[in-house]
Amino acid sequence: MPTHTAATGHRASVRNDGRAILYVAGVADMVGTFDYWSRGEDDPRELAVTYSAQFWNTCHRLGFLGKAIAWSSLCRTASHERQHVEERRIYWQGTCGAKYHLGKVVNNARVLWWALRTRPMMVLVANPSHGWVLAPLRLTRIRVVATLHNALWDSTKGPKKGLLGWLERFFYRHVCNTVLCVSDQVAKQAESFMGGRTRTVQFRPSFQRSRFELRDRGIRGRDDVFTVLFAGRLVRAKGIFDLIDVADTLRREGTRVRFSVCGSGEDRGSLERAITARGLEDWFVLHGHCNADAMGDHLAAAHAVIVPTRSEYPEGMNKVVLEGILAGLPVISSSVCPAIEVGGQAVIAVEPNSVRGYADAIRGLVDSEDAYRARVTASHAVREQLFGEDLSFGRAVEVAVGRL
């Protein structure tokens, strides 16, 4: 890996000799990740290998100029050899109605302008809502590749209807050269928009083995409270409020557990008030946002992981399910999470929104040492598959380049 020469605070100029890829990611501190990458280090704030680092690694290996753009409240740039990153302001983030749609159109129009101005071989766009704005690129040699980290629709609503639905189908059928999909379910949704044509490439989150140390897992002494880890955004659609009902149910039935909660979000205040109103302060510990080291510590202290995503959330590939398996823990997950396909017998699948189902799953692990150890053993059998490179995001980008 080359030595670090990144510079921030100005818009660097990186010459495009025709072998270039423009990658438009989501909202992220991408300059911070780039700073670690340029020194040959993984971002210590993440347990998984970041998609942006895999993008730069692929471009570096193929000899491509790689330009990544992230949406941010800051305006920063950094460059290292033939790799470049910019953070650009996003318009009307968090709005709704007409202003939301206008913001999406404006931001995609900016992507279109950047592509026409810099002329890369390929534009890689993450979760491209209103991607039809990029349709004029069909008239050029620039190819559009979408990368989907979430489902296109959730299980309760189905695909979009009306004009917006037609435009979305038009984008995937006629504008996209290839679609990179984080799960089999997401790939099937994308292919349904493509008229049955298979132009998808699947990938999975990637992890470093050194971040996950296996320990002897068992239900510890009966004086040690069984700890269930939740990690994710504190919003209702992620199911965090369902855990209050789960805790109340277990309390009434005489099963004592503790929920260790890692994450932040707009509903944290409401969550704290709801916990207090139900008298469950001793059942929940809220840690706030956790970096990779802190997450590793909380995984090591937990007996199980829970991912109670609700049916209205268009889940892609929840990394927490995979991180729990890599840590050698049983995982209790909503069945709307495609990651349960990867987890096999290490995962207890529960119908979404089912308080009774989650309570029964937790109690089953608490009450039976044999059942608990069987899930732990299953996680050991699965974890080796998650360290491979065959389904990495970087490999998927390389396949997309080969299709140009």
35 and 93 within one domain: yes
Question: What tokens were used for 167?
Answer: 């435009």
pLDDT tens for each residue of 145-190: 999 999 898 877 788 888 988 999 999 999 999 999 999 989 999 9
Decide if 90 is inside a domain: yes
Decide if 318 is inside a domain: yes
Q: Long-range contacts: 163-169, Cβ < 8 Å, 24+? A: 167/130, 167/132, 168/131, 168/132, 168/193, 169/193
Q: What is the CATH number of the domain that holds 312?
A: 3.40.50.2000
127 and 42 within one domain: yes
- Binned at pLDDT 50, 70 and 90, residue 11 comes out as very low
How far is 366 from 254, CA to CA, in rounded Å? 11
State the burial class of residue 34 (Cβ atoms within 10 Å of its Cβ: 0-12, 13-18, 19+). Answer: buried
- Give CA 88 to chain center in angstroms: 21
- pTM to 2 decimals? 0.85
382 and 392 within one domain: no
219 and 183 within one domain: no
Identify the residue with better confidence: 96 or 265: 265
pLDDT tens for each residue of 56-88: 999 999 999 999 999 888 889 999 989 999 998
Q: What is the pLDDT of residue 17?
A: 59
- Binned at pLDDT 50, 70 and 90, residue 13 comes out as very low
225 and 99 within one domain: no
How far is 216 from 324, CA to CA, in rounded Å? 14
328 and 382 within one domain: yes
321 and 359 within one domain: yes
pLDDT tens for each residue of 234-292: 999 999 999 999 999 999 999 999 999 999 999 999 999 999 999 999 999 999 999 88
Report the number of distinct structural domains present in the chain.
2
Question: What tokens were used for 104?
Answer: 């999406």
Decide if 159 is inside a domain: yes
Question: What tokens were used for 25?
Answer: 């990611």
Structural contact between residues 337 and 239, judged by C-beta atoms closer than 8 angstroms = no
How far is 393 from 398, CA to CA, in rounded Å? 9
How far is 283 from 130, CA to CA, in rounded Å? 43
How far is 21 from 177, CA to CA, in rounded Å? 14
Query: Residue 162 CB: number of other CB atoms within 10 A?
Result: 7
Cross-strand partners of 200: 179
Per-chain mean pLDDT for the chain: 88
267 and 187 within one domain: no
Decide if 12 is inside a domain: no
Decide if 340 is inside a domain: yes
311 and 164 within one domain: no
259 and 369 within one domain: yes
Decide if 8 is inside a domain: no
Q: What is the pLDDT of residue 75?
A: 86
Angle CA 23–86–37, to nearest 5: 80
Max intra-chain CA distance, the chain: 68
Decide if 167 is inside a domain: yes
For tokens 């931001």, name the residue.
Answer: 107
297 and 315 within one domain: yes
Domain of residue 198: give its range: 20-208+388-402
181 and 221 within one domain: no
Decide if 303 is inside a domain: yes
In this model, does residue 217 exceed pLDDT 60? no
